[in-house]
Amino acid sequence: MPSHPLRVAVVCSSNQNRSMEAHNILRYTQNGILHMLERNKRIKPRPERFQNCKDPFDLIITCEERVYDQVLEDLNSREQETFQPVHVINVDIQDNHEEATLGAFLICELCQCIQHTDDMENEIDELLQEFEEKSNRPFLHTVCFY
């Protein structure tokens, strides 16, 4: 099991629905159905651009393949400094409230399972395969380095 809490980024195209719902669930502050913008205001002070964020993460989850490609492009264009691995995983989630909520719970469960692995680097592929079968959703996975 990792010695520190898993550092996770969740990225979607508009930073308004899917990633915010996942952030909501990951913070365990589920207080019922809230208006989308009120929820967002409570979770983050403002929208953020992943490309402007220089924080290191262990795991970056995207909510659509186009954004996954953009995150990979951004990470691969950065100069590698620490060679710390970061796993980039795409979980396709439709951009509506119901799917955002279901996707957020799936992302939360995935993060919890990864956090509790003994060796994330060697167990993540098998774990993702299990989640694909369980959720009937395809996952994309790439390892990049900081």
16-to-22, 76, 99 alpha-carbon distances in Å: 11, 25, 13
107-to-20, 54, 61, 62, 78 alpha-carbon distances in Å: 12, 22, 8, 10, 26
- The tens-digit pLDDT sequence of the chain (146 residues) is 556 788 988 887 776 667 767 766 666 744 444 455 566 677 777 778 899 999 999 999 999 999 999 999 999 999 999 999 999 999 999 988 889 889 999 999 999 999 999 999 999 999 999 999 999 999 999 999 99
Do the beta carbons of residue 120 and residue 58 sit within 8 Å? yes
What is the pTM (predicted TM-score) of this model? 0.81
